[in-house]
Structure 1
């Protein structure tokens, strides 16, 4: 079966059509996870405890996989195996004395004859697979070593890519999700919500739950968005972290003033500032251990590579001890904010001042 899109997969599953092998990847991680759950549900129903085996692709034992493939289903029609994050570029966390080509060949040899009662799902949620556009087919083609496994899945099973959706597609999905929960939202307001969440599917899903709980059966209008939704502003958080890193007091408070315009979500502002410093701390520790951007992105399941690159850049100007001190300051600030004592803006300004006073 050739490569299909998520909508076509859902249509197949609704008809009870199942392949013996699936390969699901793409930058829309929530959609990858959602489709994985749909396939598992179609294969084993409510009997996951008995008929589903989960394997870590980073340490895949091919003998164990082969034995699982031969098992007969228990209390369901199919025996289902989920293999998460097998990376043909680096099949093992430690590749000393091993070659990726040999391990990939062994995997393909293992899954060549999948029994009719077994469904294998390869899903990628922990790293990004590079793709290029194929103008003839209109689909994306994988550019690295993962292409061989994906092509095999397309040949004998089903291959699905879950790309980031366009603003218009997201707006329609948001309107549909809101409607399913008994509320209403216009396409224009849904588009604004997508933009406020920087088109991140997980953030959008969380905001929809909150908005529908607030609105009930009423329409979610723009004023409700502005009241309840925190506008994502990663570049401003990066600007603040960078200013603290180089002891630039003026730039730090300009960035904080910009962030504090969102008067209803100052707790979220602190959470995002803290996340920026945790990103830098991870990057600093990684650099000290000889690790690179891709290692951090994979180890901590970052979706966006630019966040890791910014963290590597900014953390180069701060010692690990100074980063620890800043994170402690932010932790204590969070406790103070949660206590409800004092003006939120003043508390955050005091936190930035304390961080600017730390030394490398």
Structure 2
């Protein structure tokens, strides 16, 4: 069967008798993390020889040599393969599926980072997933929710010898996002900064990285509460950190588009969760929950006006030589004015 993450955690707590493991996701961290964990468990269980073969189109000959060669010491062979099904030809995909069927005293651990959800629905992807499912474990690792990310921060801090409350962990996630690679580095930095004691909210406020989406959430919140001066200050911080003006504008547009969609859903008696489903969002509905909070401060007409302001901003940023910082600041003030008018 194709496992979800909680099922996978349970499976990895049992003795591993499978010969094939395939971890795939649109997120980079989880497949690598579970591949490393699986290999460590296998190596701990019995003497093993590890061969790493990298893709995106791995050599089938190398895989056959690594998996099929009898070790002179009689140890198990582990073959770790990173691949992208779309980069492989049909014959190689078929050959890899055959290898999964015929492993003897060898284990193959495969990982794929799909560019999007559609990529894992291709014929090649389905064949590899089916082969792994038939002969071992196939696990689809979905994008972590903010709650998942906060738990990861707590666990990472504890492993380093530091501590962090759930509230503080959530604050780190709000500021840095849900990318586990970013959170791992951020938590390590904060743990070292407090000499592996407690990571507190004041320390997070002072030292933690504030990603572009988190800053935009703050800007929208400040504009919605009519604190335009503070919103411009936050914008200037983003610019000082060398964030691209077009990227800032795109994040602003995405935030207000989310708010407009939630507003439309509310007009038909639906909530943000329904909008999340109806508009085909993936991952967590956290951003739409935040968008719903912003939408409550605007009418539908105001949100349409704001989206028009942001459209014109995008056009100007891409087509004129005007000062981009000034264009952003002007647009932010126009958004604030549009929200204040009734």
TM over 0.5: yes
Q: Secondary structure at the match of 1:57?
A: coil
Q: Secondary structure at the match of 2:109?
A: strand
Question: Which residue in 2 is equivalent to 1:24?
Answer: 23
Q: Answer yes or no: is 1:78 the counterpart of 2:76.
A: yes
Determine the C-alpha separation between the residues in 1 that align with 2:156 and 2:214: 29
Question: Which residue in 2 is equivalent to 1:326?
Answer: none
Determine the C-alpha separation between the residues in 1 that align with 2:50 and 2:245: 38
What is the CA-CA distance between 1:234 and the residue it aligns to?
Answer: 4.8
Question: Which residue in 2 is equivalent to 1:167?
Answer: 146
What is the CA-CA distance between 1:157 and the residue it aligns to?
Answer: 0.7
Question: Which residue in 2 is equivalent to 1:207?
Answer: 186
Q: Answer yes or no: is 1:144 the counterpart of 2:122.
A: yes
What is the CA-CA distance between 1:158 and the residue it aligns to?
Answer: 0.4
Question: Which residue in 1 is equivalent to 2:170?
Answer: 191
What is the CA-CA distance between 1:208 and the residue it aligns to?
Answer: 0.4
Q: Is the 8 A contact 2:175 2:215 kept in 1?
A: no
Change (3 A) 1:206 1:107: same
Q: Which runs of 5+ in 1 are unaligned?
A: 92-99, 132-141, 238-253, 277-303, 305-312, 323-348, 354-360
Matches within 5 A, 1:328-343: none
Match of 2:234 among 227, 234, 258: 258
Question: Which residue in 1 is equivalent to 2:43?
Answer: 44
What is the CA-CA distance between 1:256 and the residue it aligns to?
Answer: 8.5
Q: Is the 8 A contact 1:43 1:77 kept in 2?
A: no
Question: Which residue in 2 is equivalent to 1:60?
Answer: 58
Question: Which residue in 2 is equivalent to 1:334?
Answer: none
Determine the C-alpha separation between the residues in 1 that align with 2:135 and 2:95: 17
What is the CA-CA distance between 1:69 and the residue it aligns to?
Answer: 2.0
Question: Which residue in 1 is equivalent to 2:250?
Answer: none
Q: Is the 8 A contact 2:25 2:140 kept in 1?
A: yes
Determine the C-alpha separation between the residues in 1 that align with 2:97 and 2:56: 16
- Output the TM-score relative to the length of structure 1: 0.57
Matches within 5 A, 1:1-360: 2-45=1-44, 51-73=49-71, 77-87=75-85, 89-91=86-88, 100-115=89-104, 117-125=105-113, 127-130=115-118, 142-145=120-123, 146-234=125-213, 258-261=234-237, 269-270=241-242, 272-273=243-244, 317=318
Change (3 A) 1:236 1:165: closer
Q: Which runs of 5+ in 2 are unaligned?
A: 217-229, 248-282, 284-313, 327-342
What is the CA-CA distance between 1:229 and the residue it aligns to?
Answer: 0.9
Determine the C-alpha separation between the residues in 1 that align with 2:196 and 2:52: 40
Q: Is the 8 A contact 1:184 1:218 kept in 2?
A: yes
Change (3 A) 1:19 1:129: farther
Question: Which deviates further from its counterpart, 211-220 or 11-20?
Answer: 11-20
Determine the C-alpha separation between the residues in 1 that align with 2:215 and 2:195: 33
What is the CA-CA distance between 1:14 and the residue it aligns to?
Answer: 4.3
Q: Is the 8 A contact 2:25 2:114 kept in 1?
A: no
Q: Deviations over 1:181-222 (max 9, x none)?
A: 333322122112111112111111111001111223543222
Q: Is the 8 A contact 1:81 1:119 kept in 2?
A: yes
Change (3 A) 1:147 1:168: same
- Output the TM-score relative to the length of structure 2: 0.60
Determine the C-alpha separation between the residues in 2 that align with 1:224 and 1:26: 33
Q: Is the 8 A contact 2:84 2:114 kept in 1?
A: no
Q: Is the 8 A contact 1:12 1:18 kept in 2?
A: no
CA RMSD of aligned residues (A): 4.0
Q: Secondary structure at the match of 1:51?
A: strand
Equivalent residue pairs, number = 246
